[in-house]
Amino acid sequence: MSITKPTKIEATKAAESFILYGDKTKAFRAAFPKSKAKKESMNVLAIKLHSSVKVQLMIQTLRSEMEVVVVDGAEFSIESKKRLLISTAMYGVEQEVIAKPKWMKDEDYDPEFKQRNPQATVSAVKELNLMDGDHAAKEFKVEQTSLEEYRNRLGR
């Protein structure tokens, strides 16, 4: 097909390559890999291809699809990570019965309870605090005072 009226496949390849590399010439090469155009004329052809309506629409379509995927993935991943960390913390705190050793007699066995995984709980809570910004640096104001003012404040 012609460069000003590329096929849907050519427009898609050019748009994908342009989004990936940000280079019109590379987009032209992706759409027309068998082109034998010289370097100077290839740049002109690349500009013509890039300005075609089909390529511009395909670039807009692909970018909007990418934005939706990125935003959905980011929102999902943050919330899913928090849910996973909370369930990990709760699982680690729950108690379970220590199994009776095989060599021990039933009358000697006194069931003991222990936390399943306290280290996992501590790690999960720490990570949740980091995600929520609870460990963010705080701003402190430092005043420079003379030794005499300092003694006056202390009442000496």
Count CA atoms within 13 Å of residue 27 on its CB side: 29
Give CA–CA dist 63/129, Å, rounded.
34
CA geometry: angle at 129 spanning 123 and 131, to 5°?
105
Question: Given CA atoms 63, 65, 66, 72 in this order, what sign does their dihedral have?
Answer: positive
Task: With respect to residue 123, please indicate whether it lies within any of the assigned structural domains.
Answer: no
Task: With respect to residue 92, please indicate whether it lies within any of the assigned structural domains.
Answer: no
Task: With respect to residue 44, please indicate whether it lies within any of the assigned structural domains.
Answer: yes
Q: The domain containing residue 32 runs over which residues?
A: 8-64
| Nearest CA among 150, 94, 147 for reference residue 124 | 94
- The pLDDT confidence band at residue 139, using thresholds 50, 70 and 90, is low
Task: With respect to residue 60, please indicate whether it lies within any of the assigned structural domains.
Answer: yes
Please count the structural domains in the chain. 1
pLDDT tens across 13-24, in order?
999 888 888 899
Q: Which two tokens stand for residue 9?
A: 């496949």
Mean pLDDT of all residues in 112-141: 73
In terms of pLDDT, which residue wins out, 26 or 104?
26
Helix (H) or strand (E) holding 113: strand 113-115
Task: With respect to residue 141, please indicate whether it lies within any of the assigned structural domains.
Answer: no
Task: With respect to residue 13, please indicate whether it lies within any of the assigned structural domains.
Answer: yes
Residue 124 clears pLDDT 70, i.e. is over it? yes
Residue 41 clears pLDDT 80, i.e. is over it? yes
Does the global pTM surpass 0.85? no
Q: How many helices (H) and strands (E) does the chain have?
A: 6, 2
Give CA–CA dist 93/113, Å, rounded.
11
Mean pLDDT of all residues in 92-109: 75
Task: With respect to residue 96, please indicate whether it lies within any of the assigned structural domains.
Answer: no
- What is the reported pLDDT for 138? 61
In terms of pLDDT, which residue wins out, 115 or 75?
115
